[in-house]
Structure 1
Amino acid sequence: MTSLTFHGGVGEIGGNKILLEDGGKRIWLDFGMSFKQSGLYFDEFLQPKKYNGVVDFLEMGLLPPLPDMAGFYRQDYLSHADMPTSPDAAYDGVFLSHAHADHANYIHFLRSDIPIHASEVTKRILASTEDTSSSGFKEFLNFKETFTLRPKKTGEGMMKPKSEETKVARDFRALAPGERVVIGDLTVEAMAVNHSIPGALGFLVHTPQGVIAYTGDLRFHGYGGDLTRGFVARAATAKPLALICEGTRLDETESFTEQDVQERVAKVVNQTKNLVIANYPWKDIERLRSFYEVARASGRKLALSLKQAYLMKQLEGTDAAAPTLGDGNIVIYIDRKNWGLINKPHYPQNIVEQEYSAWARDFLSYPNRVTCDDIHRHQSDFIVRIDFFDLVDLINIRPDEGSCYIRSVTEPFDDEGEIELVRVENWLKHFGLYPYEQIHASGHASGPEIKRLIEEINPKLVFPVHTEHPELFVAPPGTMVEIPQVGKSYRL
C-alpha cells in the first residue's frame, strides 16, 4: 500500500516535507525550511543553538518528530543530545525539486548516508550556498561531524579537530531530466520545470497503486516556460492517481512575465542618465539574464556581486544558461571589507586578500573586476546589484543625481519584511533614489494557470501544498481535492 504523509508545506508557502512510503521503502519529496514556523520563534539574532543539534528544531516544530529519528537525523547531533542513534539509515532517499531554502535547507540535519537526488544545477547551487554562507546549518553537500575530539599530535590529551578534518561528502546523486531512479517497487521520474531558480524539477513517482505527480514549484513564463508545459504534458500521459500541487498564487489572476520584466527594466534604464542600482534574487539566473540583456542593449555593463560571481563560476558547463564571467558585458563588483583595502594600492596583495573569504579571493585578480571608485567615476556605464545587506555600499559609490533604483524582488509578505522595506526606503531617500521602480515577476503559476494544469493532468486526487489558500483549489469533474493535515498519512 502506498501512503503519503505531509510534514510540511501544509497551509503555508514553503516548508515542503512530504514522505512517500510503499512496500517498506520510504522516500521524501523535498525537505525544506518553514519560514512561517521558524518566524514564530526565531529571527536573525535569536537562533537555535548548535549544541542542541536537532533538539531546538524538534521542540519548536521545525523538524518532524519521527518514530525512527535514529535512522534519519544526524548521528552526531543525536548522540550529543543523548538521543538514540542507529548504524543504519531508515529512509531510502530525498528527492529535491530545487535549491530554494523552503524546499532544501533542512537536509543539513539528515544522516550523511541517506541519498539526496537533485539536478546537477541544484547540486551546484547548494554547493555555492554552502561555501558562501556566513550562517550555520548549511551543510548540504559536505557533512562535517560535530562534537568529536581527536588526540593531540603529542599524544597527550585531546583537542577539537578542524572542521575540514571531519568533512564527509554526502551521498548526493545528480539527476538528469527524464532520468528514472528505481527504489524497490518505486520508480521516480525526474522532469524539468521552470521556476525562479535554475535546475528545478517536478517528479512522477510510479508506484504499484499508480503514479503520484509532484509539481515542486513552477511557472509557465520565463526563458524555460516550455519545460513546465512539457512536465504537464508528460504527467497527463501518466494518468496519475494523485497530484501534489503547489498553489502559491492560487488567489492571483495576473501573470506578469519575465519578458515583461525585461521590457520595463529596459525602459527605465534607457531613461536613466547615471547609475542604475538593482536588487534581484542572487540565485535567480533568469532575472540576471534579463538585467544582462538590458545592460548589453543599452551599452552598460552588469556588475555582479562576489557571491553571484562565485555562483556563475559554479554553474559553468551546466544547462543553467547563465552568462559567463568572461563576457564583455559582465564585471565583478569587489566590495570593501574590514579595513577597506581593495582600493588602497599601497597595501601588499596578500594583506588585501586576507580581507576576503577563501572562495572570493580568485576574483580579486580578474581583469573585469571593479570597485566602488570605478562605479562612482563612471556611473552611466553600469547596472550594479545592491541587495539589502549591501546598502551601506551606497556611501562609497555615492550615486549622482539622475540615478535610479530598481527593486526586482517580491513584495513583503510579513511584518519583518515591511520593516525591512521601510529601512530600504530610508536609504533610497537619503541618496535621492526615491521613489524607486518595483519591477518583478513571480516564480509561481497564477490561479487560472494552476486550474488549467489540474484539468490537463486530470488526476483522480489533488493534494494542495505550498499555499495559504488550499480551499481555493477547484477540481474538474472526476477529480477530488484532499486538503492535507500535518502529520496525517493518506493511503492511496
Structure 2
Amino acid sequence: MRNSNASRSGSRRSRSGGQHGQTKKGRPAGELRWVPLGGMGEIGKNLSFFEYGEEILVVDCGLKFPEEEMLGIDFVIPDAQYLVENRHRIQGIFLTHGHEDHIGGLPFILPKLDVPVYGTRLTLGLVENKLNEACPRYRPKLVEIRAGETTQAGSFSVQGISVCHSIPDSLGFAIRTPVGLVVHTGDFKLDATPIDGRITDYSAFAELGKEGVLLLLSDSTNVEREGFTASERTVGQTFEQLFRLYKDRRIVISTFASNLHRAQQVFQTAARYNRKVALVGRSMISYVELARKLGYVDAPDDLFISQQDIESTPPNRLVVLTTGSQGEPFSGLVLMSKGEHRQIRLGSKDLVVISATPIPGNEKLVSRTVNLLFACGAEVVYDRSQAIHVSGHASKEELKIILSLVRPKCFAAVHGEYRHQVRHVQLARELGVPAKQVFVLTNGDVLKLVDGKGQISGRVPSGSVLVDGVALGESEGSLLRERRELAEDGLIALSLVVDEQFRIASPISIESKGFLHCQDAKDLYREMEGAVRKALEPLAGHPETDPDSVPTLIRKKLRDVLSRYSRTYPTLIPLVTRLGQPTPTKGRKRSAA
C-alpha cells in the first residue's frame, strides 16, 4: 500500500488569515461551513466537506447505482466541481469505510484533486485496487489511520472512532475545529456480538458528549425501523440451519461482495459441513482475496476451489458464493438464473439463498431474478422473515442512544432518503436538541456554524454526473434525454447523394430502427422519398445554397409525412453527401416531439 509523503501533522497548511477578521475570499475566520455534495435525500453518492477559512476537509467520495430509467448508465457520482476549483485548499479526504457508496467516486474525482486520502487498512486496500484498475498511472497519496488515533490536517484534528458496520474497519470521526467539535457517525449499528469482535465504541461517543459537541451528523438509513438492528450472528445461525436441512443439495449464496462478515460466516459453516467454496463474480473474488491477504477474513486455502472445478465437485460438497443479490444484469447469480453461466447450471438439486435486501430502485431487478431462479427448478430462499440478511445500519433505538450519548447543540441527518432525514430530525427534537438547531439539508446546501449555532445559508454548485463506461456526462444534459427519445420513439436514418447543383444523384436510402414495422412501412418509405425530393426541388440549380440548411429542410418535410402515421416523431438523421465535397452533411439537430 502506498503511503503519503505528507506527515500525520497535516497535508497542506492553511492559507487562512487567522481566526479573526476575514479570509482572502471574505469568509469569516470564525465560521465553519459544512456542505454535502451527495448523500442527502438519496441512498449512496456520499460526499461532503467542511470549510474553515481557506481550508477544506472532505469526508467520503462515493457513488450510487443508476435508477431504472437511466438507460445504459453504469453508476452516478457527485458533481465535485467546487472541490476541483478549490483543490489547493483541500487538506485531505477522510474515508469512513470501504463501501462503494463511500469510495466509488474516487477513481473519477481523486486524480483531479490529487490530495491525500486517509482511511483504515482495509479501506485503503480497496481504494488502491479500484485506482489500479481504473487509472493505473495515477499514484495516490494514501495514509493509514486507526480508530482511537488523531490526525492533524491543517486546522482540523480528526479522531477515528471504531463503529460496527457490515464491512470491517469502519470508522466514525470526531473532527475538532477552531469553531467547535463535530461528530460524524459514518454508517454504523450497535451490534453487541460482531463477527470480528470490534464493537461500536460507546465510551468514545460518551466522552465526546462530555467534551461538548457542536454538530452531530448521523446515519439515517434505518430510522423508520423500530427497535434494534439484529446482530450479524443471526445470519450465521440461519446458514447453520439451511446447511443442515439441505445437506443433499448444492448451495448457492448471493450477497454483497463487500459484506466480508457474511462471507466469513459462509466459510466457517462450509468448513464445518465439509463443503468446498467456489467464489463467483469478479468483485467477490477481489474482495475476499484482499480481505484474506490483510487478515480480515480467516479461511484456509484448501477450502476454496476454482470455477473450473465446480462441475467435478459433488453438489452436496459445494457452496457457491456469488455476486448478484441486487439483480445486476451481468452478475454471477443473474447469469445462472438465465442459464448463461459457463460452469453452473441450476436445477432441482440446488438451493439458492439471496442474503440481502434490495437497494431502493432495485426491487424489480431482484424480483425478476427470483422468478427466473424458480423457473430453473431451484429452491430459493429470499424472504426477509427467514433471517438470511440483517442490515448494517442502526435502527431507531440505536439512533436514540447515540443522540443521548453525544448530546449535540446542532444536528443534521445524513445518509438517507428525504423522509429518513425528516424522521431523524424529529427524533433529535424528541431527544432534546433545540428545534431551531436540527436541519434537513439537500445536496449543495451550506450549513454555517457560528457562535455555537447553525443556520442553512447559501448553496454551492452540486448535482450528479453519469458514468457510462469511462465517459462522463452531466445528469441534466442531453445524454439521458437522447436515450429516452430513442427508446420511446425510435430512429430513422436517411442517406442521399446530390451533385454540385443539389440534384439527387443516386437512390435514396432509408433505415428505420424502433419506429414502424408493419405493412404500411413500404408506403411510408415511398412517401418519405417523395417528401425528400420535394424538399430538394427548390434547391436544384442553386449551388450557392448553404449545405448545412439542407438537413433541416428535409427534416421539416419528413415530419409532415410522419404526422399521418404516428403521434410522436422518431429521431430523424438525414445524411446528405454532396459530390465534390470532402465530407457528408449530417443533420444533428433533434426532431421535435
Task: Tell me, yes or no, whether TM beats 0.5.
Answer: yes
Structure 1, residues 332-365: CA drift from partner, whole Å, max 9, x if none?
Answer: 432xxxxxxx5xxxxxxxxxxxxxxxxxxxxxxx
Q: Select the structure of larger CA radius of gyration.
A: 2
Query: Residue 192 of structure 1 contacts residue 202 of structure 1 at CA under 8 Å; is this kept in 2?
Result: yes
Structure 1 461/225 Cα, relative in aligned 2: closer, same or farther at 3 Å? farther
Taking the TM superposition and a 5 Å limit, the aligned residue runs for 1:299-310 are 299-305=274-280, 307=282, 308-310=284-286
In structure 2, the residue matched to 1:53 is: none
Letter in 2 for 1:404: L
- Partners in 1 of 2:203 and 2:280 — Cα distance? 34
Q: Secondary structure at the match of 2:364?
A: helix
Aligned to 2:84: 69
After superposition, residues 388-403 of structure 1 pair within 5 angstroms as 388=324, 389-391=331-333, 392-393=335-336, 395=339, 396-399=343-346, 401-403=348-350
Q: 2:67 is matched with which residue? A: 39
Q: Cα offset for 1:432?
A: 1.7
Q: Evaluate the alpha carbon distance shift between residue 47 and residue 264 of structure 1 in structure 2; reply closer, same or farther with a 3 A threshold.
A: closer
Q: 1:34 to 1:299 in 2, by over 3 A?
A: closer
Instruction: Give the unaligned 5+ runs of structure 1.
Output: 49-56, 73-88, 143-166, 335-341, 343-370
The match for 1:446 is 395
Aligned partner of residue 12 in structure 1, secondary structure: coil
Choose from 150, 159, 184 the match for 1:189: 159
The answer to whether 1:409 aligns with 2:369 is no
Contact 2:280 2:323 (C-alpha < 8 Å) held by counterparts: no
Helix, strand or coil for the counterpart of 1:170? coil
What is the letter of the counterpart of residue 237 of structure 2?
Answer: E
1:311-332: CA deviation from partner (whole Å, max 9, x where unpaired): 3332346452x02452x4x214
Corresponding position of 1:351: none
SS across alignment from 2:105:
helix
**Greater RCO, 1 or 2 (C-alpha within 8 Å, sep 6+):** 1
| Alpha-carbon distance in 1 for matches of 2:393, 2:375 | 34
Give the Cα–Cα distance (whole angstroms) in 1 for the partners of residues 161 and 62 of structure 2.
20
Contact 1:25 1:184 in 2 (8 A): yes
Q: 2:365 corresponds to which residue? A: 420
Partner of 2:151: helix, strand, or coil?
Answer: strand
Q: Is the 8 A contact 1:9 1:17 kept in 2?
A: yes
Q: Partner residue of 1:114? A: 115
Change (3 A) 1:204 1:41: farther
Q: Deviations over 1:59-109 (max 9, x none)?
A: xx940442x63443xxxxxxxxxxxxxxxx232211111121211222222
- Note the alpha carbon deviations across 1:164-189, whole angstroms, 9 max, x for none: xxx13111211122222212221011
Match for residue 259 of structure 1?
233
% identity of equivalent residues:
22
Query: How many Å apart are 1:114 and its aligned residue?
Result: 0.9
Distance in structure 1 (CA, Å) of the matches to 2:286 and 2:433: 49
RMSD between superposed Cα atoms in Å: 2.6
Which residue among 276, 280, 298 is the counterpart of 2:255?
280
Instruction: Give aligned pairs, total.
Output: 388
Aligned to 2:89: 90
**Any conservation in 1 of the 2:152–2:158 contact (CA below 8 Å)?**
yes
Aligned counterpart, 2:509: none
Letter in 2 for 1:15: K
Whether the 8 Å contact between 2:58 and 2:93 is mirrored in structure 1 is yes
Q: Deviations over 1:362-397 (max 9, x none)?
A: xxxxxxxxx23123xx11112111333123357543
Q: TM-score, normalised by structure 2?
A: 0.61
Change (3 A) 1:268 1:324: closer
Cα pair distance change 1:180/1:418, threshold 3 Å = same
Shift in Å at residue 217 of structure 1? 0.5
Residues 470 and 483, structure 1, Cα contact 8 Å, conserved in 2:
yes
2-structure distance, mates of 1:443, 1:311: 18
Counterpart for residue 154 of structure 1: none
On the 8 A contact 1:12/1:465 being kept in 2, the answer is: no
Name the counterpart of 1:374.
312
1:271 aligns with 2:245: yes
Aligned amino acid, residue 289 of structure 2: K
| Alignment partners' CA distance in 2, 1:114 and 1:9 | 22
Residue number in structure 2 paired with 1:248: 221
TM-aligned CA distance change 1:332 to 1:435, over 3 Å = closer
- Matched residues in 1 for 2:355 and 2:319: separation? 13
Alignment of 1:19-418 (within 5 A): 19-35=49-65, 38-39=66-67, 42-43=70-71, 45-46=72-73, 62-66=78-82, 69-72=84-87, 89-108=88-107, 109-110=109-110, 111=112, 113-130=114-131, 138-139=134-135, 142=136, 167-221=137-191, 222-223=194-195, 224=197, 226-254=199-227, 255-272=229-246, 273-305=248-280, 307=282, 308-316=284-292, 318=294, 320=296, 322-326=297-301, 328=302, 330-334=303-307, 342=308, 371-375=309-313, 378-388=314-324, 389-391=331-333, 392-393=335-336, 395=339, 396-399=343-346, 401-414=348-361, 417-418=362-363
| Paired letter, 1:243 | L
SS, match of residue 276 in structure 1: strand
Q: TM (normalized to structure 1)?
A: 0.72
Contact 1:218/1:228 (<8 A) preserved: no
More off after superposition, 428-437 vs 254-263: 428-437
Describe the shift of the 1:219–1:332 C-alpha distance in structure 2 as closer, same or farther (beyond 3 A). Answer: farther
SS in 2 for 1:227: coil
- The letter for the 2-side match of 1:384 is V
Letter of the 1:290 counterpart: Q
1:209 Cα deviation after fit: 1.8
Check conservation: 1:313, 1:325, Cα contact below 8 A: no
Does the C-alpha gap of structure 1 residues 266 and 212 become closer, same or farther in structure 2, counting only changes over 3 Å? Answer: same
Flag the 1:427–1:325 CA change in 2: closer, same or farther, 3 A: farther
In the alignment, which residue of structure 2 is the partner of 1:13? 43
In the alignment, what sits opposite 1:471? 422
Instruction: Assess if the C-alpha contact under 8 Å between 1:462 and 1:482 holds in 2.
Output: yes
